Amino acid sequence: MKFELKMPRLGESIHEATIINWLKNVGDRIEEEDMIVEVATDKVDTEIPSTVSGTITALLFEVDAVIKIGSILAVIEIDATCVTSEKSSESDKKIILSAQTDSFKKSANTEKVFATSKITNNNFFSPLIVNIAKREHISFEELARIPSTGKEGRLRKSDLLEYIKQGRPTQFVQPMKEKDPTAYRIPQLDLDKGTGSIVKIDRMRQMIADHMVYSKHTSPHVTTYVEADVTELVQWRDKNKQLFQDKYNQKLTFTPLFVEAVAKAVKDFPMINISVDGENIIVKENINIGLATALPSGHLIVPVIKNADTKNLYDLATDVNELASKARDNKLKPDDIQGSTFTISNVGTFGSLMGTPIINQPEVAILALGIIKKRAEVLETPVSDEIAIRSMMYLSLSFDHRVVDGFLGGSFLRRIGDYLEQIDHNRIL
C-alpha cells in the first residue's frame, strides 16, 4: 500500500515552506517518526517526520522548492504490518523534479539583471523571492544587497519581508563620488587577531546576531533597575513546592511565579504591551510572555506562554515545564516560539547579579531577573530599624525610549517588584 506524506501545518500564519535538505533518499527504509525532510519558513526551520513505517518510493520536490501546506512531499510503500486510516488517492506517482533555475533562463529581463548584478555570496533566488520582488518592484541588483540568513548565504523570505518592512534601506544606495570631508573615517588598523582555530559562525548564530544588531539599531535602549525583597516569595515556594508536586505532578519553579507577576504588571500598564509600526503604535490585545531560553547548543530561543494573564499558577507551571522540556530536547514547534508581546530573561540562572538585555523586536521592553541572593538588610519597624538576613533580587528593564518614557518604564518595573514582594501566604494551590 502506498502512503502520501503531506506537508503539515507549521503554524497559524504559515502557508508555505522551502525545502532545505532531504534527510532520506528514494529506496531508504524508514520507521515511523523518522525525520524525512528539513524545511524553512519565515518563522523557523524545522524537520518533518514520517507518520508511517515503510520504504520511500518517491520524493516529489527538489531542494529549494517552495511548497504549499498540504502538498504531497513523498510517497512511501507502507509495511504490511503498518495500519493507517489514510489511503493513497493514486496507485503510483512519478518523481517530480522542480527545475527552478530554468524559470530564470526563460526571462530575458532576468538574464539582463543578472548580467549587471554584483552577486557574490548569493547567486540564486527562489521563485517565491522572485515573485515578491516583482510585486514590490525590487530589482535583482537590490536583492543582492539584502543581508541573507539562509543556508549557504541564500536569501530567505523572512529576510526579504524584513527588508521591505524597514523601508528598503538600500534601495537607492549609490557609490559615493566624493568623500565627505566631515565624515568619520574608520581607521585602517592592522590588528593582531592572534592565533588559534577558526570556527565558522553557524546559520542560527548568524540569525541571532542579525536580530540583536537590528534591535540595537532600531530601538534606543534605556535600562532601569529596582531591587526586590523576595524573602516571603522564597519561603512560600519552599513551603508549597512539594505539595504542588504531589497534587499536580508538576514542578513548581520560580519561573511561573515570575511570569504571573509580569502578566499582572503588563495588564496594569498596557502601553508596555505594544509594538511600533512606522508612525503607528499597536497595542496588543493578548499578553504573551516570552522566556529567553538557552538550547543545548548554547543558542538562544524564546518560547512563548500565550495569554499568560488568563492562566492560574498550575497552567503557568505546566506551560513553563513543557516548553523547557521541548527546548532541552530540540522539539519546539513554530507555534511555540511566535507571538510574544513581552520577554523575560532570567540571567540569575547562571549566577548573574543583573543584566542589560536587548529588546526582542518588535516588542518595546524586556525584563532581566538577577540571582536571588541572601544579604543583610536594614528593615524599618514601628519601634526601630533592624538588620535581618533577606533574600534579595535585582530586576532590570530595557525599554524602547521612542515610545516608553522613564516614568512608564520605572513604574512598570516597580510594580513587578511589588507583586513579587506581596505574596499571599494563604493562597490556595
Q: Known catalytic residues?
A: 401, 405
Query: CB burial class (10 A; 0-12, 13-18, 19+) of residue 376?
Result: exposed
- Can you tell me the distance from the alpha carbon of 323 to that of 337, in angstroms, rounded to the nearest whole number? 10
Contact 86, 10 (CB under 8 A): no
- Can you tell me the distance from the alpha carbon of 268 to that of 142, in angstroms, rounded to the nearest whole number? 45
- Can you tell me the distance from the alpha carbon of 69 to that of 53, in angstroms, rounded to the nearest whole number? 22
Residue with cell 540595537: 216
Interhelix angle 313-328/231-248, nearest 10 degrees? 80
- Can you tell me the distance from the alpha carbon of 425 to that of 414, in angstroms, rounded to the nearest whole number? 21
Q: How many Cβ atoms from other residues are within 10 Å of residue 56's Cβ?
A: 21
Long-range contacts of 160-169 (CB under 8 A, 24+ apart): 160/129, 160/132, 160/133, 161/42, 161/132, 162/214, 164/132, 164/136, 164/138, 168/136, 168/138, 168/142
Using alpha carbons, list the distances in angstroms from residue 23 to 37, 56, 152, 179, 271: 5, 12, 17, 51, 46
CA nearest to 110, candidates 119, 160, 153: 119
Query: CB burial class (10 A; 0-12, 13-18, 19+) of residue 169?
Result: exposed
Q: In 12-154, where does DSSP find H-type helix?
A: 100-105, 108-116, 127-135, 140-144
Beta strand 54-59 with 342-345 is: unpaired
What cell was used for 415? 510594580
What cell was used for 208? 541571532
What cell was used for 43? 518563522
